[in-house]
């Protein structure tokens, strides 16, 4: 029987985004504050996922051996380093989160049966790499606060309570929603980026956070006048809002995860969603009535 195992590791490092072929104003326009000398640092959190057959000892791999390999090949060289200079790969392609995850895979692949490399630059920004050439995944986290009521208008209060419990109470209730937006695309061979991170965050802010934050979804968002704003339906709505703006950035929307509370969350895999029911409108703000 095959299993997937995960090993966590940490390292601290600094980096700078700067392309010598660009002028100072061009670099600042492209990379913003990340161009400042002597760079900036992060406490990186690394998850190495591996798979294989269970052996006679009930293990896929000896984790003591895995720990030594990760330290020798990755965390030892990278810890307390200036990433731009530590490995030759970063002379060609900047050490962005997504490119760093890709290079870590390349360093570990000869030694471990890898499934995924997940690298957190900080809790609201991380990348995943699965060994697919230059293709990688980048996730940005954010949050908004909103109220909702779960009830079907054609049902009585008692009937809605049977389905939705306390969530059907007439005056609604609120949540501090945590949103994770994952995009997929090719890591640029020079900048190391899938998309401009500032532009990506601006799209999420403008298209999702600003319209939804501090609203009563049932009354303030026309879509939810007819669609019950469950976490699942909110995630589908957000996916349809973001699909085309992210395509315009040059990436593909891969996943939406919405955490309603520490106990409740949902995920939408966007390829499945869009394949099953293509968006009915091309305009932001008029998502397909899916779900």
Q: What is the CATH number of the domain that holds 64?
A: 3.30.479.10
For residues 140 and 238, membership in a common domain is answered with: yes
CA 284 to chain CA centroid, nearest Å: 21
- Could you confirm whether 173 is annotated as catalytic? no
pLDDT of residue 271: 85
For residues 123 and 138, membership in a common domain is answered with: no
For residues 214 and 116, membership in a common domain is answered with: no
pLDDT of residue 285: 41
Q: Record the tokens describing residue 271, joined without a space.
A: 């390829």
* Helix spans in the chain (H): 24-31, 63-70, 76-78, 83-86, 89-92, 97-108, 157-164, 197-204, 210-212, 217-220, 231-249, 270-276
Catalytic residue among 175, 254, 260, 270: 260
pLDDT of residue 274: 84
Rounded-to-integer distance, Cα 154 and Cα 230, Å: 17
pLDDT of residue 288: 36
For residues 97 and 157, membership in a common domain is answered with: no
For residues 115 and 152, membership in a common domain is answered with: no
For residues 1 and 113, membership in a common domain is answered with: yes
For residues 127 and 138, membership in a common domain is answered with: no
| 3-state SS class at 231 | helix
> How many domains does the chain divide into?
2
Find the domain containing 105 and state its range. 1-132
Q: What is the pTM of this model?
A: 0.91
For residues 171 and 245, membership in a common domain is answered with: yes
Rounded-to-integer distance, Cα 248 and Cα 245, Å: 5
Letter string b/e over residues 88-103, b meaning 16 or more CB atoms within 10 A of that residue's CB: ebbeebbbbbbbbbbb
Q: Give Cα separations from 261 to 143, 218, 224 (angstroms).
A: 12, 19, 20
* Other beta carbons less than 10 A from residue 64's beta carbon: 8
- Could you confirm whether 270 is annotated as catalytic? no
49: left (phi over 0), alpha (psi -120 to 50) or beta: beta
For residues 258 and 158, membership in a common domain is answered with: yes
Which residue among 97, 132, 167 closes a domain?
132
Helix axes 197-204, 231-249, angle to 10 degrees: 140
pLDDT of residue 277: 58
Rounded-to-integer distance, Cα 256 and Cα 232, Å: 10
For residues 256 and 124, membership in a common domain is answered with: no
For residues 168 and 186, membership in a common domain is answered with: yes
- Could you confirm whether 214 is annotated as catalytic? yes
* Helix spans in 89-184 (H): 89-92, 97-108, 157-164
Which residue among 132, 163, 179 closes a domain?
132
Per residue of the chain (291 residues), give pLDDT as tens: 899 999 999 999 999 999 999 999 999 999 999 999 999 999 999 999 999 999 888 999 999 999 999 999 999 999 999 999 999 999 999 999 999 999 999 999 999 999 999 999 999 999 999 999 999 999 999 999 999 999 999 999 999 999 999 999 999 999 999 999 999 999 999 999 999 999 999 999 999 999 999 999 999 999 999 999 999 999 999 999 999 999 999 999 999 999 999 999 999 999 888 876 544 333 334 433 333
Catalytic residue among 167, 178, 266, 286: 167
For residues 181 and 51, membership in a common domain is answered with: no
Q: Record the tokens describing residue 169, joined without a space.
A: 């109470």
Which residue among 70, 103, 132 closes a domain?
132
């Amino acid at each position: 029987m095959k299993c997937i195992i995960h090993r966590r590791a940490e390292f601290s490092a600094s980096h700078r985004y700067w392309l010598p072929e660009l002028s100072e104003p061009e670099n600042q326009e492209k990379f913003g504050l990340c161009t400042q000398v002597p760079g900036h640092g992060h406490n990186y959190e690394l998850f190495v996922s591996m798979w294989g057959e269970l052996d006679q000892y009930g293990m896929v791999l000896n984790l003591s051996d895995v720990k030594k390999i990760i330290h020798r090949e990755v965390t030892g060289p990278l810890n307390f380093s200036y990433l731009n200079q530590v490995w030759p790969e970063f002379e060609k392609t900047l050490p962005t989160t997504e490119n760093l995850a890709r290079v870590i895979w390349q360093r570990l692949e000869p030694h471990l049966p890898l499934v995924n490399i997940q690298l957190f630059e900080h809790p609201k920004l991380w990348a995943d790499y699965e060994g697919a050439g230059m293709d990688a995944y980048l996730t940005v986290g954010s949050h908004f606060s909103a109220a909702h009521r779960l009830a079907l208008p054609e049902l009585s209060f008692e009937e809605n309570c049977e389905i939705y419990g306390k969530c059907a109470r007439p005056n609604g209730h609120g949540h501090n929603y945590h949103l994770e937006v994952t995009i997929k695309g090719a890591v640029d061979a020079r900048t190391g980026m899938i998309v401009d991170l500032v532009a990506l965050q601006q799209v999420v802010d403008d298209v999702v956070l600003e319209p939804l934050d501090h609203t009563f979804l049932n009354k303030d968002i026309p879509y939810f006048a007819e669609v019950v704003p469950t976490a699942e339906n909110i995630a589908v709505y957000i996916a349809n809002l973001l699909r085309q703006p992210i395509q315009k950035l040059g990436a593909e929307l891969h996943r939406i995860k919405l955490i309603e509370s520490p106990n409740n969350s949902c995920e939408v895999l966007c390829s499945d969603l869009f394949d099953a029911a293509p968006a009915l409108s091309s305009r932001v703000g008029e998502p397909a009535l899916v779900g």
